[in-house]
Chains A and B, each alone.
Chain A
């Protein structure tokens, strides 16, 4: 008789992972790297805080968007898959916020960063805040960002900052799957029916203008690149384009050329979508300031 495998231990494991404050799970990495804070000057430190917030904000906002799909997916299996991606992203956000709080050393928590900053203080990539649209738009958005994150974390793994590099290593495993999942879906939608092809073409038309924002750099990057902490985003552009072209080709989709790019996330400039997303997300903690949940 066919039997179900026993999952008791792993169920407990999931509880532990979910319940554990992120601060614990990355604590060992902090302990290893705490000593270097003495050598890090305040400009570097401030830049690194902002760098972490950028990464965390993008992960959180995209995770929040994917969370909107939960219970509404096109088929139950895919509903579950999108939530897995959302959970990975929220986990990444928590880890990078926690590191930012540690670096900033003002007693803040991951939740202070997530719930008590306004949209002008959010640095997430413009692409992440774009509405889900139909499933085609969600998959395209996921594919474009996962491709970016894949090369980003691959490079960040070599950061001089040991915490960043170990967080990058963990995140890379997750986004590698996100990339596989979204590529395979994009190929099926692009090369599926006439309707699905058209829907993805529409999504490209809608979202492509936000892709330039991903490679934008400012003085934060400049300073941290000098220290060997951050990575040169310009160097990601070529592999990113190559991968996108490769998958678009399989998906029978046209790669857009010479399009105008909308930028601004580095300075907290956003489309109007972000404000609504944050209002919804932050409502409860802001209604009851100081409350524990």
Chain B
């Protein structure tokens, strides 16, 4: 009996064209074609997708919890990047 297992792939689905891709989950597959098919069969059983991405899990590069402070907190105090920082009634295009 085989004691190894097929590699893991991360699956991203797009609900409708124009919408962002979101992480749906993962599948095991031996290669990219079967990864795509497995993703389709597992994560679009209910019409959830119009497009699917699959990526070998080992190629996902993630920031670490230790990075959190230095990566994300510096943008915390730049409130001038948000439109509601500006009190100019009538100037919005929205």
**Measuring CB to CB, which residues of chain A are less than 8 angstroms from any residue of chain B?**
2-5, 7, 10-11, 13-14, 75, 77-78, 80-81, 84, 180-181, 184, 188
Interface size class of B (residues with CB under 8 A): 20 to 34
Select A10's contact among B23, B30, B38, B47, beta carbons within 8 Å. Answer: B47
Q: Are A81 and B13 in contact (CB under 8 A)?
A: no
Select B22's contact among A5, A11, A14, A84, beta carbons within 8 Å. Answer: A5
Q: Determine if B33 is an interface residue (Cβ-Cβ < 8 Å).
A: yes
- Within the assembled complex, what's the spacing in Å between the Cα atoms of A10 and B44? 9
- Whether A10 touches B41, Cβ cut-off 8 Å, given contacts A3-B23, A4-B24, A5-B15, is no
Chain B nearest CB from A249 CB (Å) reads 17
Q: Are B41 and A4 in contact (CB under 8 A)?
A: no
**Measuring CB to CB, which residues of chain B are less than 8 angstroms from any residue of chain A?**
6, 13, 15, 22-25, 27-30, 33-34, 37-38, 41-42, 45-48
Q: Residue of B at shortest CB range from A79?
A: B41
Q: 8 additional contacts, CB 8 Å, given A2-B23, A81-B41, A84-B45?
A: A10-B46, A10-B47, A13-B46, A77-B27, A77-B41, A78-B38, A80-B45, A188-B30
Q: Are B48 and A5 in contact (CB under 8 A)?
A: yes
Q: Residue of A at shortest CB range from B19?
A: A5
The interface centre, meaning the residue of A5, A84, A184 with most chain B CB atoms within 10 A of its CB, is A5
- Within the assembled complex, what's the spacing in Å between the Cα atoms of A219 and B83? 75
- Within the assembled complex, what's the spacing in Å between the Cα atoms of A77 and B41? 8
Select B38's contact among A77, A180, A188, beta carbons within 8 Å. Answer: A77
Q: Are B48 and A10 in contact (CB under 8 A)?
A: yes
Residues of A within 8 A of B47 (CB): 10, 13-14
